Structure 1
Amino acid sequence: MNFLIADTFTASFSRLSGLDQKAVKASVFDLQMNPTGNGLQLHRIDKSKDPHFWSARVNRDIRLIVHKTGESMLVAYVGHHDDAYAWAERRRIEAHPRTGAVQIVEVRERVEDVAPPPTLHLIFPEHAKDGEKADTAPALFAPLNDEALLSIGVPADWLVDVRAASEDGFFALASHLPAEASEALLEYAATGRLVTPIPVPAAANPFAHPDALRRIRLIADQEELEQALAFPWEKWGVFLHPSQRTLVERSFSGPARVAGSAGTGKTIVAIHRAVRLARETPTAKVLLVSFSEPLAAELAKKVLVLAPETNGVVPRITTASFQGIAEQMFQLEHGVRPRIASDVVLRERLRAAAASINLKGFSERFLLSEWTNVIDAWGLTSLDAYSTVQRMGRKSRLGPNQRARLWPVFQVVRDALAAERYTTWANVFNGLADALAKRENKPFDYVVIDEAQDLAPAELRFFAALAPAKPDGLFLSGDIGQRIFQHPFSWVSLGVDVRGRSHTLKVCYRTSQQIRSAADKLLPTVLRDTDGLEDERRGIISVFDGPAPEVKSLADVAAEAAMVRQTVKTWLAEGIGSREIGLFVRTPHLVTRARAAIAGLSGADEMTTAPMSLAKGLEFRAVVVMACDEGHLPLDERVADAADEAELDEIYETERRLLYVACTRAREHLFLTGVMPTSEYLADFTM
Structure 2
Amino acid sequence: MIFCIADTFPKALAKLPAQEQKAVKTTVFDLQMDPAHPSLQFHRIENSKDEHFWSVRVSRDIRLIVHKTEDSFLICYVDHHDPAYAWAERRRIEIHPRTGAAQIVEVRERVQEILVHQPVEVPATPAPIVLPPLFARYTDDELLVYGVPPDWLSDVRAATEDTIFDLAVHLPAEAAEALLDLAVGEKPELPTIVSPEVVNPFEHPDAQRRFRVMEDIEELKLALDFPWDQWAVFLHPSQRQIVAQKFSGPARVSGSAGTGKTVVAIHRAANILKNDPQALLLLTTFSLPLANALEGKLRLLAGVEKGVVPRVTVLPFKGVASELFTLAFGHYPRAATEEHVRAALKSAAVELAVTTFTPRFLASEWLNVVDAWQVADASAYQEVPRLGRKNRLGVKQRETLWPIFERARAMLSAQGLLTWPMIFGEVTRHFAARLEKPFTHTVVDEAQDLGVPELRMLAAITPPGSDTLFFAGDLGQRIFQEPFSWRVLGVDIRGRSKTLKVNYRTSHQIRQAADRLLPKVVQDVDGVEQDRRGTVSVFNGPDPEIKTFPNADAEVQGIAQWIKDLVGQGVAPAEIGLFVRSNAELGRARSAVKAAGHTQLELSERLEDPRGRIAIGTMHLAKGLEYKAIAVMACDDNVLPLQERVETVADASELDEVYETERHLFYVACTRARDYLLVSGVDPASEFFSDLTDRSRLPTR
Counterpart residue type for residue 353 of structure 2:
N
Look up the SS of the partner of 1:629 in the other structure: coil
- Give the drift of 1:408: 0.8
2:58 paired residue number: 58
Q: How does 1:16-27 map to 2 (within 5 A)?
A: 16-27=16-27
Does 2:230 correspond to 1:235? Answer: yes
Question: 1:604–1:36: structure 2 CA closer, same or farther, 3 Å change rule?
Answer: farther
- Give the drift of 1:596: 0.9
Q: 2:547 aligns with which of 534, 543, 552?
A: 552
Q: Following the alignment from structure 1 to structure 2, what is the Cα–Cα distance between the partners of residues 157 and 176?
A: 12
1:626 paired residue number: 633
2:622 paired residue number: 615
- Give the drift of 1:474: 0.9
- Give the drift of 1:191: 2.3
- Give the drift of 1:225: 2.2
2:316 paired residue number: 321
2:130 paired residue number: 136
Counterpart residue type for residue 48 of structure 1:
S
Q: Following the alignment from structure 1 to structure 2, what is the Cα–Cα distance between the partners of residues 154 and 385?
A: 61
- Higher mean C-alpha displacement, 19-28 vs 369-378: 19-28
Q: How does 1:445-460 map to 2 (within 5 A)?
A: 445-460=440-455
Q: How does 1:380-395 map to 2 (within 5 A)?
A: 380-395=375-390
Q: 1:342 aligns with which of 313, 327, 337?
A: 337
- Post-superposition Cα deviations, 1:436-486, rounded to whole Å, max 9, x if no partner, equal 212212222211111111001010011111222111111111111100001
- Post-superposition Cα deviations, 1:605-652, rounded to whole Å, max 9, x if no partner, equal 321101001111001111000000011111111111001111111001
- Give the drift of 1:359: 1.0
Q: Following the alignment from structure 2 to structure 1, what is the Cα–Cα distance between the partners of residues 598 and 133?
A: 45
1:176 paired residue number: 170
Question: 1:135–1:610: structure 2 CA closer, same or farther, 3 Å change rule?
Answer: same
Q: TM-score, structure 1 length as denominator? A: 0.96
Q: 1:163 aligns with which of 137, 147, 157?
A: 157
8 Å CA contact retained: 1:2, 1:71: yes
Q: Following the alignment from structure 2 to structure 1, what is the Cα–Cα distance between the partners of residues 492 and 188?
A: 32
8 Å CA contact retained: 2:192, 2:205: no
- Higher mean C-alpha displacement, 173-182 vs 502-511: 502-511
Question: 1:309–1:34: structure 2 CA closer, same or farther, 3 Å change rule?
Answer: farther
Q: Following the alignment from structure 1 to structure 2, what is the Cα–Cα distance between the partners of residues 394 and 300?
A: 38
Q: Following the alignment from structure 1 to structure 2, what is the Cα–Cα distance between the partners of residues 277 and 104?
A: 32
Look up the SS of the partner of 2:579 in the other structure: strand
Q: How does 1:255-334 map to 2 (within 5 A)?
A: 255-308=250-303, 310-334=305-329
1:411 paired residue number: 406
1:582 paired residue number: 577
2:654 paired residue number: 647
Does 2:662 correspond to 1:667? Answer: no
Q: Following the alignment from structure 1 to structure 2, what is the Cα–Cα distance between the partners of residues 64 and 378?
A: 61
Q: Following the alignment from structure 1 to structure 2, what is the Cα–Cα distance between the partners of residues 339 and 195?
A: 52
2:211 paired residue number: 216
1:198 paired residue number: 192
- Give the drift of 1:199: 2.1
8 Å CA contact retained: 2:637, 2:684: yes
8 Å CA contact retained: 1:467, 1:473: yes
1:356 paired residue number: 351
Q: How does 1:505-584 map to 2 (within 5 A)?
A: 505-584=500-579
8 Å CA contact retained: 2:56, 2:64: yes
Q: Following the alignment from structure 2 to structure 1, what is the Cα–Cα distance between the partners of residues 244 and 544?
A: 37
Counterpart residue type for residue 494 of structure 1:
L
Q: Following the alignment from structure 1 to structure 2, what is the Cα–Cα distance between the partners of residues 558 and 321?
A: 38
- Give the drift of 1:200: 1.6
- Higher mean C-alpha displacement, 192-201 vs 648-657: 192-201
- Post-superposition Cα deviations, 1:221-253, rounded to whole Å, max 9, x if no partner, equal 333222222221110332211112111111111
- Give the drift of 1:603: 5.1
Does 2:493 correspond to 1:501? Answer: no
Q: Following the alignment from structure 2 to structure 1, what is the Cα–Cα distance between the partners of residues 549 and 562?
A: 14
8 Å CA contact retained: 2:598, 2:614: yes
8 Å CA contact retained: 1:582, 1:624: yes
- Higher mean C-alpha displacement, 563-572 vs 588-597: 588-597
Q: Following the alignment from structure 2 to structure 1, what is the Cα–Cα distance between the partners of residues 661 and 38?
A: 61
Q: 2:118 aligns with which of 120, 125, 130?
A: 125
8 Å CA contact retained: 1:224, 1:308: no
- Give the drift of 1:406: 0.8
- Give the drift of 1:384: 0.5
- Give the drift of 1:130: 6.8
8 Å CA contact retained: 2:636, 2:686: yes
8 Å CA contact retained: 2:117, 2:163: no
- Please list every run of 5 or more consecutive structure 2 residues that lacks an aligned counterpart in the other structure: 601-612, 695-701
Q: Following the alignment from structure 2 to structure 1, what is the Cα–Cα distance between the partners of residues 215 and 304?
A: 10
- Give the drift of 1:18: 2.3
Question: 1:681–1:357: structure 2 CA closer, same or farther, 3 Å change rule?
Answer: same
8 Å CA contact retained: 1:125, 1:135: no
Q: Following the alignment from structure 1 to structure 2, what is the Cα–Cα distance between the partners of residues 382 and 101?
A: 62
- Higher mean C-alpha displacement, 290-299 vs 133-142: 133-142
8 Å CA contact retained: 2:147, 2:174: yes
- Post-superposition Cα deviations, 1:184-226, rounded to whole Å, max 9, x if no partner, equal 1111111242431232233111111111111111223333222
- Post-superposition Cα deviations, 1:234-287, rounded to whole Å, max 9, x if no partner, equal 103322111121111111111111111111111111111111222222222222
- Higher mean C-alpha displacement, 302-311 vs 451-460: 302-311
- Post-superposition Cα deviations, 1:15-50, rounded to whole Å, max 9, x if no partner, equal 112222222222222222232254342212111111
Q: Following the alignment from structure 1 to structure 2, what is the Cα–Cα distance between the partners of residues 224 and 603?
A: 39
Question: 1:633–1:37: structure 2 CA closer, same or farther, 3 Å change rule?
Answer: farther
2:465 paired residue number: 470
Q: Following the alignment from structure 1 to structure 2, what is the Cα–Cα distance between the partners of residues 577 and 652?
A: 35
8 Å CA contact retained: 1:507, 1:543: yes
8 Å CA contact retained: 2:328, 2:430: no
8 Å CA contact retained: 1:186, 1:541: yes
Counterpart residue type for residue 235 of structure 2:
L
2:46 paired residue number: 46
Q: Following the alignment from structure 1 to structure 2, what is the Cα–Cα distance between the partners of residues 435 and 496?
A: 19
Percent identity between matched residues is 54
Look up the SS of the partner of 2:547 in the other structure: strand
2:485 paired residue number: 490
- Post-superposition Cα deviations, 1:399-430, rounded to whole Å, max 9, x if no partner, equal 11111111111111111111211112111111
8 Å CA contact retained: 1:223, 1:308: no
Look up the SS of the partner of 2:460 in the other structure: helix
8 Å CA contact retained: 2:546, 2:678: yes
Q: Following the alignment from structure 1 to structure 2, what is the Cα–Cα distance between the partners of residues 467 and 544?
A: 40
8 Å CA contact retained: 2:186, 2:534: no
Q: Following the alignment from structure 2 to structure 1, what is the Cα–Cα distance between the partners of residues 348 and 73?
A: 74
- Higher mean C-alpha displacement, 316-325 vs 413-422: 316-325
Q: Following the alignment from structure 2 to structure 1, what is the Cα–Cα distance between the partners of residues 302 and 143?
A: 36
- Higher mean C-alpha displacement, 466-475 vs 307-316: 307-316
- Please list every run of 5 or more consecutive structure 1 residues that lacks an aligned counterpart in the other structure: none
Look up the SS of the partner of 2:563 in the other structure: helix
